[in-house]
Amino acid sequence: MAHRVLVTGSAGQIGAELVPHLRGLYGSDSVVAAIHRSPGGQSLRDGPLVTLDTGDQAAVSAALKEHRIDTVYHLAALLSATGEKDPQLAWTVNMDGLRNVLEASRTNGVSRVFWPSSIGAFGPDAPRTDAPQNVPLNPTTMYGVTKVAGELLCNYYHGKYGLDVRCLRYPGLISNVTPPGGGTTDYAVEIFYEAIRTGAYTCFLREDTILPMMYMPDALKATVQLMEAPGSKVPRHLGYNLAAFSFSAGELAAAISKRVHGFKVSYSPDSRQKIADSWPQSIDDTEARRDWGWKPDYDLGGMVADMLAKLGPRLRAEGKGV
């Protein structure tokens, strides 16, 4: 059956790449990109583009009806560091938005919904390494609180109404298309831009800070794989742990230095350090691998090589390379 897809948060870090990816799979006209405040890049204009405030349930409902949507990827959200600056706004955007999308989806016959959870769902009491799938989730950030409550809400909509909601706990995502904004793992993207632009970077986390990370092509692959898996392979409607690799800020700097000679990194931890310290260093994703066949393609070396190969020529063409 042909899909009719709506992606909220299309101008965001994941949406900006998921929209073209889904259009490549299902056809440009079948994937409606929804934006709110940010206009997003040119590629969103290769197919239907709407302005939508997920805080407005009637507007979400109208968009689902008008475009006869059967599948929703609800990505509009605030990230962790922004959430700590304005916890009220984080709750409103992340929770009201999700409730509105779930409610509008169930009342408009949407058959499948994707929602991103995160490593931010874990708290300092979770095991630091190989954080298991099933462990008490006691996050200490508002972002994490919205991720845990959001997972529960998705699971509730599945149990109560049979809505097929599927969730992944993404690690920090690294991409060369749209920079993230307001996250704790953002350093792992910024460092590439600064390596190419100026040859120097001041990292806002300590050198020994280890976090779980993933290259965006793997995140897109996991998302589509989960969403296309038959229901029998997706028994879990809370977030699936998802992993690719982990590294410290110092290890990433060293991997980039091998390819960008003379690259200088210094460390000046700010308030985001506390957030990073509350998250696990690595994640056990055995259930995702077992249930729907998850397996990443990129390791740290492969990601670094590809990031520099893609970003280097682009930034230099813009006159921004050293």
The yes or no reply on residue 246 touching ligand SER (CB under 6 A) is no
Which of 20, 47, 48, 172 is close enough to bind ligand SER by CB under 6 A?
172
Toward ligand SER, which CB reaches closer, 30 or 223?
223
Q: At CA 193, angle to CA 187 and CA 196, rounded to 5?
A: 135
> 5 by DSSP, 3-state: which?
strand
Which of 185, 209, 241, 278 is close enough to bind ligand SER by CB under 6 A?
185
φ and ψ at 111, to 5 degrees?
-95, -25
The yes or no reply on residue 176 touching ligand SER (CB under 6 A) is no
In this chain, which stretch among 98-106, 178-186, 281-289, 311-319 interacts with ligand SER, using CB under 6 A?
178-186
Strand order in the sheet with 172-174: 172-174, 210-215, 245-248
> 6 by DSSP, 3-state: which?
strand
Q: How far apart are alpha carbons 302 and 274 in whole angstroms?
A: 29
The yes or no reply on residue 278 touching ligand SER (CB under 6 A) is no
Strands (E), the chain: 5-8, 31-35, 49-51, 71-74, 112-118, 164-170, 172-174, 200-203, 210-215, 239-241, 245-248, 264-267
Strand order in the sheet with 239-241: 49-51, 31-35, 5-8, 71-74, 112-118, 164-170, 239-241
The yes or no reply on residue 119 touching ligand SER (CB under 6 A) is yes
Least distance (Å) between residue 29 CB and ligand SER: 31
Is the distance from CB of 268 to CB of 205 less than 8 angstroms?
no
Of the listed 26, 73, 143, 240, which one is catalytic? Answer: 143
Toward ligand SER, which CB reaches closer, 143 or 263?
143
In this chain, which stretch among 32-40, 58-66, 118-126, 127-135 interacts with ligand SER, using CB under 6 A?
118-126
The yes or no reply on residue 209 touching ligand SER (CB under 6 A) is no
The yes or no reply on residue 308 touching ligand SER (CB under 6 A) is no
Paired tokens of 234 = 């997706």
Contacts of ligand SER in 142-171 (CB under 6 A): 143, 170
Q: Fill in the per-residue mask, 60 to 79: x = in contact with ligand SER (CB under 6 A), - = not in contact.
A: -------------------x
Which of 30, 105, 118, 281 is close enough to bind ligand SER by CB under 6 A?
118
In this chain, which stretch among 26-34, 91-99, 114-122, 303-311 interacts with ligand SER, using CB under 6 A?
114-122
Assess whether 156 carries a catalytic annotation.
no
Which of 9, 12, 48, 183 is close enough to bind ligand SER by CB under 6 A?
183
The yes or no reply on residue 32 touching ligand SER (CB under 6 A) is no
Q: At CA 16, angle to CA 187 and CA 22, rounded to 5?
A: 130
Burial of 186 (0-12, 13-18, 19+ CB in 10 A): buried
The yes or no reply on residue 80 touching ligand SER (CB under 6 A) is yes
Burial of 53 (0-12, 13-18, 19+ CB in 10 A): middle
Of all residues in this chain, which one has the CB nearest to ligand SER in the complex?
Answer: 183
Q: Give the Å distances, CA to CA, from 275 to 16, 26, 123, 185, 314.
A: 26, 38, 9, 10, 32
In this chain, which stretch among 3-11, 182-190, 197-205, 280-288 interacts with ligand SER, using CB under 6 A?
182-190
Q: Could you give the residue numbers annotated as active site?
A: 143
- Interface contacts to ligand SER, rule CB under 6 A: 79-80, 118-120, 143, 170, 172, 183-185
